[in-house]
Amino acid sequence: MDLLFCLESILSDFRHLFNQHNFALFQAFIFGFIANRGNGTLTELYQSGA
């Protein structure tokens, strides 16, 4: 099973905590955090997650 598909289903459990725009930013942050291995500025994390 694809890792991003699994992660997306896990993150969907948190959807009710955010509005649509903020949930997209939350997902971008999490994906960027994983892609950057936790290093970098907040802007770099968002750009990595896009």
Give the per-residue pLDDT at 19: 92
pLDDT recorded at residue 50: 58
pLDDT along the chain (50 residues), means of 10: 74 89 85 71 65
What would you report as the CA-atom Rg of the chain, rounded to the nearest whole angstrom? 11
pLDDT score, position 48: 63
Measured CA angle at 44 (ends 41, 28), to 5 deg? 110
Q: What is the pTM (predicted TM-score) of this model?
A: 0.62
Distance CA 23, CA 18 (A): 5
